[in-house]
């Protein structure tokens, strides 16, 4: 059972692959299982609550319950002490031998809970010193396994847990940034890029499983390759990787997630916006646009620099999809700061915006900052910005009426739906097809946008060979 982000989904499929290789059979229902493995999320308070609730519900089935994932890594034996319903709380270092640990749990043998530590201390400070050192450090989602048959190379250690035509593909793990509100680096560790050959091999394997869209995930995709030498492309490694992924047989679309605005280079913008088979889609982590707030967040940028980046993207591709998340109510945020955020959102005309109210996170610098806003003020500001975002994103969707989009079909039947290039899985709206005809999940269909509803689009398939209306 997986909670949290797409990175966790990759980790779960790695664990499923490891367990299958160890002789375990996967079940879809907790009630018929000997063990329920819950891949927890530990990002924010609401996610932690969801994780605990899921662990308790799993325990109610009568199966053994094992907590893994970010919350388990972050809190370890503290979580185990407060949640006796879990039979074990295991960290990332347990992943390689998880099959054996489940054997122990089913047999009634005690398994010591994970003891948390700052995972940033496991690797050298300098990124270029990490590739060899990373061999001895558990990095979830990076697994491959050598086969024993002579003449065979590494095979992907992953089992798909759903039949979607879209799959997340991890290109890196960890983060070297020190955003004052974020605890992720402390339990995910320092930034480590996957080798291009491993990524390409896993991408080809996913294509063989019926995947048509690759969703590249990491904590910071713009840093990909910074721990490589010049011969591997160094800081240009992502620009070099994207066309190779797009050229894999069976892959129709490659999408990049989680770009840091301060690290988004002009060449990367160009490659994403203009490479055939790569979605002209930019998931940019702006978080705010007031310089004063961004500095307290330990981030860089401003309203004007962010608008310049948006303009640069749209010079290459006027129809490019751009989404972000913003945090409202950060310590010290003033009414002037909020107006600056409004100026950015109004000027940027983004396709999707997640709005979050600030809350303290254990062990972060922001937890100690002065200027905390009361809960009522934060709620009021979240409501205000959310209403603005709802209006702006609906206008942006309405502006697409008359455009032609390539829709990847994700559900087919009584209602046929999919997503265009500017829509990421689950978070950015859908396309609803009118007069869909006979379509199959995984088809890529050229459609005209005929209407919009909020961020969703209503589209109609175009006959083959039809000229683009606009």
Rounded to the nearest 10 degrees, the angle between the axes of helix 45-59 and helix 69-82 is 70
84 within a domain of the structure (yes/no): yes
Q: Is residue 86, in this structure, part of any structural domain at all?
A: yes
449 and 392 within one domain: no
Q: Any known ligand binding at 5?
A: yes
**Co-location of 394 and 409 in the same domain:** no
What pLDDT, in 10s, does the model give residues 50-86?
A: 999 989 999 999 999 999 999 999 999 999 999 999 9
Shared domain for 206 and 251, answered yes or no, is yes
**Domains: count for the chain:** 3
Tell me, yes or no, whether 285 and 407 share the same domain. Answer: no
Q: The CATH number of the domain where 88 resides is what?
A: 3.40.50.12160
Q: Is residue 383 part of a domain?
A: yes
Examine the domain organization and report whether 276 and 181 are in the same domain. yes
Specify the residue for token string 């063989």.
208
The angle, 0 to 180 degrees and rounded to 10, between the axes of the packed helices 303-316 and 335-348 is 10
CATH of the domain at 452: 2.40.50.140
> What does the mean pLDDT of the chain come to?
92
What is the C-alpha separation between 180 and 183, in angstroms, rounded? 8
Cβ neighbourhood burial of 200 (10 Å; 0-12, 13-18, 19+): middle
Task: Please indicate, yes or no, if residue 468 is contained in any of the structural domains.
Answer: no
Does residue 122 fall inside a structural domain?
A: no
Residue ranges making up the domain that contains 80? 6-114
Tell me which of 349, 370, 399 is where a domain ends: 399
Q: Is 447 annotated as a binding residue?
A: no
Query: C-alpha angle with apex 399: 395 to 405, nearest 5 degrees?
Result: 125
Q: Is 431 annotated as a binding residue?
A: no
d(CA 352, CA 369): 30
**How many angstroms separate the most distant Cα atoms in the chain?**
67
pLDDT tens figures, 284-308: 999 999 999 999 999 999 999 999 9
Output b/e per residue, 9-44; b: 16+ Cβ within 10 A.
Answer: bbbbbbbbbbbeeeebeeeeebeebebbbbbbbbbb
pLDDT tens, the chain, 470 aa long: 999 888 999 999 999 999 999 999 998 888 889 999 999 998 777 788 899 998 999 999 999 999 999 999 999 999 999 999 999 999 999 999 999 999 999 999 999 999 999 999 888 888 888 876 667 788 888 877 655 445 555 678 899 999 899 999 999 999 999 999 999 999 999 999 999 999 999 999 999 999 999 999 999 999 999 999 877 777 899 999 999 999 999 999 999 999 999 999 999 999 999 999 999 999 999 999 999 999 999 999 999 999 999 999 999 999 999 999 999 999 999 999 999 999 999 999 999 999 999 999 989 999 999 999 999 999 999 999 999 999 999 999 999 999 999 999 999 988 999 999 999 998 889 999 999 888 999 999 999 999 999 999 999 999 876 654 44
Q: Based on the domain organization, do 74 and 109 belong to the same domain? A: yes
- The span from the CA of 376 to the CA of 250, in Å, is 51
Query: In this predicted model, what pLDDT tens digit does every residue of 357-367 receive, in sequence order?
Result: 999 998 999 99
Residue 10, both tokens: 């990759």
41 is in an annotated binding site: yes
- 121 occurs within a structural domain: no
């Amino acid at each position: 059972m997986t909670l949290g982000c797409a990175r966790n989904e990759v980790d779960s499929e790695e664990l499923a692959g490891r367990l299958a290789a160890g002789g375990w059979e996967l079940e879809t229902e907790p009630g018929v299982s000997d063990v329920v493995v819950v891949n927890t999320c530990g990002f924010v308070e609401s996610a932690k609550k969801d994780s605990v609730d899921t662990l308790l519900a799993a325990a109610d089935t009568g199966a053994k319950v094992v907590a893994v994932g970010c919350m388990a890594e972050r809190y370890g034996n503290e979580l185990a002490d407060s949640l006796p319903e879990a039979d074990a709380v295991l960290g990332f270092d347990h992943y390689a031998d998880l099959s054996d640990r489940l054997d122990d749990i089913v047999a009634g043998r005690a398994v010591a809970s994970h003891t948390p530590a700052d995972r940033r201390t496991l690797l050298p400070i300098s990124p270029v010193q990490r590739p060899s050192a990373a061999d001895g450090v558990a990095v979830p989602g990076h697994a491959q396994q050598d086969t024993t048959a002579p003449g065979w190379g590494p095979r992907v250690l992953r089992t798909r847990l759903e039949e979607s035509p879209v799959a997340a593909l991890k290109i890196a793990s960890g983060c070297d940034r020190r955003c004052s509100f974020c605890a992720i680096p402390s339990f995910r560790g320092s930034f480590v890029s996957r080798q291009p050959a491993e990524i390409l091999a896993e991408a080809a394997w996913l294509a063989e499983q019926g995947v048509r869209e690759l969703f590249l995930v990491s904590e910071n995709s713009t840093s990909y390759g910074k721990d490589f030498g010049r011969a591997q492309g160094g800081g240009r490694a992502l620009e070099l990787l994207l066309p190779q992924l797009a050229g894999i047989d069976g892959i129709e679309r490659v999408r990049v997630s989680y770009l840091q605005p301060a690290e988004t280079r002009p060449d990367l913008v160009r490659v994403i916006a203009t490479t055939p088979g790569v979605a002209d889609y930019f998931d940019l982590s702006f978080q705010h646009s007031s310089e004063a707030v961004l500095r307290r967040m330990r981030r860089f940028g401003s309203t004007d620099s962010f608008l310049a980046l948006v303009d640069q993207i749209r010079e290459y591709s006027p129809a490019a999809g751009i989404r972000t998340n913003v945090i409202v109510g950060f310590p010290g945020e003033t009414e002037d700061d909020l107006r600056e955020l409004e100026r950015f959102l109004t000027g940027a005309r983004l396709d999707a915006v997640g709005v979050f109210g600030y809350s303290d996170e254990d062990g972060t610098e922001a937890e100690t900052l002065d200027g905390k806003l009361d809960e009522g003020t934060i709620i009021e500001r979240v409501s205000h910005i959310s209403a603005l975002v709802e209006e702006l994103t609906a206008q942006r969707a309405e502006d697409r009426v008359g455009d032609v989009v390539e829709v990847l079909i994700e559900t087919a039947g009584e209602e046929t739906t999919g997503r265009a290039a500017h829509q990421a899985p689950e978070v950015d709206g859908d396309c609803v097809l009118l007069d869909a005809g006979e379509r199959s999940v995984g088809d890529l269909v050229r459609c005209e946008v005929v209407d919009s509803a909020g961020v969703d689009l209503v589209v109609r398939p175009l006959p083959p060979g039809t000229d683009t209306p606009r």
